[in-house]
Amino acid sequence: MLTFSRTHHEHLKGLTIRDFTLTPAAHSRDTVSTPDSYNVVWNTPSVDENGSMPIGNGDIGANVWVEDGGDLLFYVSKTDALSENMRFLKLGRVRVTLNPNPFEKGCSFKQELDLTNGVINITSVSKSNQNLLNLKFWIDANNPVIRVEADTSKDTKVSVQLEMLRNKRTQASDGDISFGGLKDRDKRRRFSYPVFVEPDTLHPSKDNTLVWYHRNKKGSHSVWEDSLKVQGLEEFMKKSKDPLLNLTFGAQVQGTGLLKSSAMELKSQQPTKHINISVHPLTDQSDTAKIWLGKLKKQVKNSGTHTAKKAQWLAHKKWWHDFWQRSWINITAKPGEDAYVVARGYALQNWVTACGGRGSMPIKFNGSIFTVNTKERGRLHGPDYRAWGSAYWWQNTRLPYWPMLASGHYEMLQPLFKMYSDALPLAKHRIKKYYNFEGAYFPETMFPWGTYRNEDYGWNPKKGRHPDRIRGHHTQYYWQSGIELTAMMLEYYDHTGDRNFLNKKLLPMAKEIVAFYDQRYKRNAAGKLVIYPANALEDVFHCTNPTPEIAGLKYVLPQLIKLCEDKNLREKYKKLLTELPDIESAVSESGQKYLLPARKDVKRRGNCEKPECYAIFPYRLYGVGLPDLALAKETFKLSPREMEGQDRSNGWAQDPIFAACVGNVDEVKKLMIQRMKRYHKESRFPGFWGPNFNWVPDQDHGGVNCTALQKMLLQTEPYSNKIHLLAAWPKDWDCSFKLHAPYKTTVQGEVKNGKLINLIVSPASRKKDVINYLK
């Protein structure tokens, strides 16, 4: 590893290669609040984009790499770049060529992801031409702009080239599952109609800029309109508008001293030692391209000049410093040791989440905004490809969001809450149309506006078929997402005390979700609710009384009763709570009671979702600090281990969370080590998990890892003020941590030699609620 002894962006005028001394890099060991120990450092350029580093500001992202002997390249992405086919697309690719080239083969090279400051630093020294480069690549945390800033020791010619990704209209292949939702199961998953990928538009700008965009024009099909019509909801079209139509996304590239040399290239007017390039992405639903171009021009003006002002850079660094100070889990270990790999994986997942977690759309579980032309099993798939497409599966979408609570990253939960809150009017309309009563549910596989994917619903429903009998049996009666969303909202409120959120979002959402279950299902002779027909996730189909639904309602109703000020509604909640049946259970050979996924009259698939364990997490009815810990342990112990090649060390399998919640230290430690080592081997970045069941980088895998590691340290539940500390933490892992708990509480401390030390609880009045399990 090499570093340059002078500061990274020191003025280089008049200096030569001899003015710089190459020294071994110092390894930061601050285990209190900075993630420096987990910076990713590469000492050689990359072969291709599978060797890219991710960076972002929450909405805008880039995959950055340097080709061996070649150029600096980066993809530009955005959280809301949705095409006419409901696919998340890359905006484009940018290539920066320098002459004399500091990246010549054999150069002394270092590329480092500086987590603390939110920047990628690249230093390179060419042996043949002695051109030394110091480059800083950052995406402003507070403004919509990408900045490339570099100094060189020699006068350097600069070329910036736009590489558009969609140059002509092409027909999509029936075999491409990244178009998920447009296929027809009755046609062996071929497209229901010919699907085309429309080209991007290169704007003929007359100034020294490169401007391009993708615009969704009205065509023969609208995914939004098709989904409403096929699902019998066309009346709702009068109350809303197509969210994809006229959606336009693209960017402007410019730079100091760069002149337009061709339609897709900027070149330096004179050789320079100081390089400043900026990229300004924008997504907007504009009636015309001219309006979008006007908004882009205004955004560029508001973001500042080609060169970032010092205050913008300082504000950017402050944002990232504050982010890392808000919470952390740092484990004392040397690089390469298992404990180090676990802690690094936690830090890198938090980085990836923050880079793509503050946009207008929720995080996509199958790649976030960091898909590239991924190499998987020897085959390249294209930068716009993601397995399963761009719809939202609740089972997958939720997993990157649960750890945001203990991390205190509350603002990043807002895109998720907003999407489901915005879809609530359609969900209510659907219930009124399908059942003629009030209430709401959300499909498991959902387009952002709230409909099923037509691929799951069925493109041609048979006449007389009840509208809720969808085509895909895996998700036919899979509706528990609304209950878990309510549970997540409740925990968010417990953490923040946000009364506006409680009254405007949480309580209205909960009212409709509970109303659906109250009215959709009948009572038996004993007056108990019978939830049938139902799915226990994707494990038991067409079953009765699935555990996630029963446990979920038992979990959220007592909390809603406490919060609801409407007396009549509160009485309804109380009545429904008394009508809920017991969670289905059995007795093991050892004589210990354990939970079942549903009533034991339908054969289960035995997959890795484990619906019986939902009473352990996310619905904290059993486990550490709760009644009947032995039942929780036996339930987890007897849950299926593998099915159809599904591995507990992969993707959305939640075994480490369940293990932590029942206090199984050895099991959760083993699983965490396995999972943190399961990054994509064809990718160079060690925080790109996958593809597992999803795609690369797999955000489910990272989300489960983060939640499990947090729960090894800290667990809470809504029935008391207790904070259960270190209930599943290995005694041989020294660490420092800071996590968040309900009632605006932070818990900070260290584990050293198997003991808790330096415990700081804020407010101090909450320290009495802490129960330390590591004594």
Would you state the pLDDT for residue 466?
82
Instruction: Give 550-574 as a 3 state SS string.
Output: HHHHHHHHHHHHHHCCCHHHHHHHH
Could you tell me if 46 and 52 are in contact, meaning their C-beta atoms sit under 8 angstroms apart? Answer: yes
Give the residue carrying structure tokens 């639903």.
Answer: 285
Would you state the pLDDT for residue 25?
32
Would you state the pLDDT for residue 607?
76
Instruction: Give 284-299 as a 3 state SS string.
Output: EECCCHHHHHHHHHHH
Could you give the C-alpha distances from 516 to 225, 418, 421, 443, in angstroms and in order? 25, 21, 16, 13
Would you state the pLDDT for residue 541?
93
Would you state the pLDDT for residue 648?
61
**C-alpha–C-alpha distance, residues 336 and 324, integer Å:** 23
At 422, give phi and psi (nearest 5°).
-65, -30
Would you state the pLDDT for residue 33?
64
Would you state the pLDDT for residue 707?
98
Could you tell me if 292 and 320 are in contact, meaning their C-beta atoms sit under 8 angstroms apart? Answer: no
Would you state the pLDDT for residue 602?
86
**C-alpha–C-alpha distance, residues 260 and 626, integer Å:** 67
Could you tell me if 704 and 654 are in contact, meaning their C-beta atoms sit under 8 angstroms apart? Answer: yes
Would you state the pLDDT for residue 317?
98
Would you state the pLDDT for residue 127?
87
C-alpha of 461 from chain center: 34
Q: In 12-131, at which residue ranges do the beta strands (DSSP E only) sit? A: 22-24, 40-42, 53-56, 60-66, 72-78, 92-99, 108-114, 119-125
Give the residue carrying structure tokens 């009212």.
Answer: 511
Task: Let me know how long the chain is.
Answer: 775
Would you state the pLDDT for residue 462?
82
Beta bridge partners of 136: 121, 149
CA end-to-end distance (rounded Å), the chain = 41
Given a cut of 70, the residues of the chain with pLDDT beneath it are 1-33, 642-649
- Closest listed residue to residue 58, CA positions, set 444, 356, 471: 356
Q: Which two three-digit tokens encode residue 15?
A: 């200096």
pLDDT tens by residue, 593-642: 999 999 988 888 877 889 999 999 999 999 999 999 999 999 999 998 75
pLDDT tens by residue, 92-102: 999 999 999 99
